Amino acid sequence: MEEGNKEGSKLGRQRSAAKQQKGKLYIIKKCIAMLICGSPKS
């Protein structure tokens, strides 16, 4: 039982890390798009 819980927490950490990486990539892509296209406000 305990081992299963440890594995689950490891998977959870990996998933949260993957989500953070995806979020960072999304923000970077948004910034690049704004730099190339120019911000809509300007």
Q: Which amino acid is at 35?
A: L
Q: Which of 15 and 1 is assigned the larger pLDDT?
A: 15
- Two tokens, residue 12: 């959870």
Q: pLDDT, tens digit, for every residue of 5-29?
A: 566 788 889 899 999 999 999 999 9
Residues in the chain: 42
Q: Which of 4 and 31 is assigned the larger pLDDT?
A: 31
Question: How far is CA 3 from each of CA 6, 7, 13, rounded to the nearest angstrom?
Answer: 5, 6, 16
**Is pTM beyond 0.75 here?**
no
Distance CA 36, CA 42 (A): 13
Give the domain extent around 18. Answer: 1-36
Is the residue at 41 inside a domain? no
What pLDDT is recorded for position 32? Answer: 92
Is the residue at 29 inside a domain? yes
Q: What is the CA radius of gyration of the chain?
A: 18
Domain count, the chain: 1
Q: Which of 30 and 8 is assigned the larger pLDDT?
A: 30
